[in-house]
Structure 1
Amino acid sequence: MAAKTRRTRPAEVEGTPAGGEMKFTLSQRAHSARVVEIVAPIVPVLASALQPRTEVVLHDLTRMPNTIAAIAGTITGRKVGGPPTDLGLRTFRSEYPQDMVNYRTETAEGLVLRSSSMFFRTSSGTPVACLCVNSDLHDLQRAKEILEALTAFGEQAHHGTADGAPLETFPATVDDLADGIIRQAIEAVGVPTHLMKKSHKVEVVRDLDQRGFFAIREAVDVIAQRLNVSRYTIYNYLNEISASQGPEQSATAG
């Protein structure tokens, strides 16, 4: 007696994938076919315009699981007739999936991509196709690392000044140089010049002396005017500083 043959349910019946996924009517399939007809020729053009290293994929959601209807770019190595991604499969199963822009994805080889997905819908809102753009960020990430390395500061730059000011500036003129040094010295004291007492002004002069400010021509006259004192007062401050430092660290004024 011949063995009975068990009839199995086909993978798809009238366009409905096994497992209860969304059914598509003939009208919806026709709509999807029209989207593919219009959008597919744009896929290679769009991939070329978004070079380098960008892949553009058009999915026909009515042909699950072989959804790829058009593809350009070689990032993932997929071809027409291929399946969606795992995220795509989960998303496509939803009755009302949302467009997604600039989300992180990753290939099986660990290549990080920036992806975006836009759905095409029927007049009733049913998604029937999806356009995906995947951009390889490896070169951009590498460029970012190089730029960060080139613009990074060493240990001395992090700790060279108490207030985080740069260790070196590039003034265009001597006046700019003098103004910059004076501004930094006054900011270091932390008191506006019109509120300064003698002790504050002495600290400003001490800071300027340490910065080499008095090697600039007419430096004494410039700082005397800024601190609203006489040039002789500045000399007195320098003498006080010199006396407190000892003979080996005497100030030089000019």
Structure 2
Amino acid sequence: MRGEEYGMPDTNTKLTETDKAILESCKIIVNGLAEYLGCNYEIVLHSLENIDTSIIKIMNGFHTGRTEGGPITDFGLSMLSKIASEKGKNSESYFSKNKKGEPLKSSTIIIRGQGGKPIGLLCINFYLNAPIISLIQSNTPSAEFPYKTQIKENFSKTTDELILKSLDDIRLFVATDSSILPSLKNKRIVELLNDRGIFKIKDAVAIVARHLNISKNTVYLHLRGAKQ
């Protein structure tokens, strides 16, 4: 399927090594989105280097029957045409149907490379005929993701708030662990904060030291011990 068939010049794009690296890194995003959203979502990554074989990564392709090496869609081509005429056009959501006539809710997002030129498309297709039970199962803990493996994630407005919330969580955990000697509790708190990457945040050492009522040197001492 060539651009000339749509009254447009050849849509193939010459990619630089940087452009190719950007698209390669996007493959990880495809995997992550598919894992997060579940099997009712098809995630497709297109490279505009060759629109005849543009699909370079696809997850859950059974919804449309496509595989890697497949061509770009007619909508993808029309969107590239829109980009040329509409500044700031980077994405579009719409409803479509697969070959079986089954409804999809779709979104196509432009991936830009060096100089802001379009180099690829990230497409998400949600299968609207998905059974309700399937949607529930993909969004609730299961044998694969049980409650006991759920992670408490702090959504903070500032880094200071993030530090303090993490500190409160870990202090509570350490306080209820009878296997940790009282004299080693601060050391363990610092170690666990370090495991979370908290000390990569500016001024974290000073904030933690102040709230644990210990010196910054003591925090650094515990950190050195954790690295050994």
TM-score with structure 2 length normalisation? 0.48
Structure possessing the higher radius of gyration over alpha carbons: 1
TM-score normalised by length of structure 1? 0.44
Q: Which has the higher contact order (CA 8 A, sep 6+)?
A: 2
